[in-house]
Amino acid sequence: MERLSHFDEEGRSRMVDVSDKSETKRVAIAKGEVKVAPGTLALIKEHKLAKGDVLEVARVAGIMGVKRTPDLIPMCHPLLISGIDLKFNIRDAESIIEIVAIVKITGKTGVEMEALTAVAVAGLTIYDMCKAVDKGIEIGEIKLLKKSGGKSGIYLSDE
């Protein structure tokens, strides 16, 4: 039967030992969506054309958030992240900002949590910067799109 790997045989939480895993090149791609009111999206887009830029602040926050992942998620290993890309796709018809984070490493564990944390922190930052004008913002659909490298091979979500 399967066992949650973060617990040992007696059910205690622990940081799983990866001493014997080999270093491989790993990539994780995660996504999430921020649903705002159409008027809020217009404000974000106009600002982008001016000097201020909600999405650029959110991008910086998301990239910095990757580096805080082991401080936030108790059982995550500290990792030497080798690259981070964070993109936003605006889907006007749905009034949604889609966030996509790509995180790369050569290491012993995958970087799913880092990519997901980037998405979450970027999403929270968009929320924060717009909340004065829009209290109904919702962050959702945070999930893994793709993962490669490591023993378990390539994972691709249905999406």
Q: What positions carry a catalytic annotation?
A: 128
CB-CB contact of 40 with 132 (8 Å): no
Q: How far is the CB of 97 from its own copies (least distance, A)?
A: 14
How far is it, in rounded angstroms, from Cα 78 to Cα 68?
9
Among 93, 135, 151, 153, binds its own copies (CB under 8 A): 135
The answer to whether residue 67 forms part of the interface with its own copies (CB under 8 A) is yes
Query: Please, which residue, 38 or 73, has the CB nearer to its own copies?
Result: 73
Q: Are strands 96-107 and 24-35 parallel, antiparallel or unpaired?
A: antiparallel
| Contacting its own copies within 35-64 (CB under 8 A) | 39, 43-44, 47, 50-54, 56-57, 59-61, 63-64
Among 29, 96, 99, 120, binds its own copies (CB under 8 A): 120
Work out whether the CA dihedral 143, 145, 150, 151 comes out positive or negative.
positive
The answer to whether residue 91 forms part of the interface with its own copies (CB under 8 A) is no
Q: How far is the CB of 35 from its own copies (least distance, A)?
A: 9
> If residue 130 lies in a helix (H) or strand (E), which one and from where to where?
helix 112-130
Q: How far is the CB of 13 from its own copies (least distance, A)?
A: 5
Query: What would the 3-class secondary structure string for 39-98 be?
Result: HHHHHHHHHHHCCCCHHHHHHHHHHHHHHHHHHHCCCCCCCCCCEEEEEEEEEHHHCEEE
Among 41, 99, 111, 130, binds its own copies (CB under 8 A): 130
Query: Please, which residue, 92 or 113, has the CB nearer to its own copies?
Result: 113
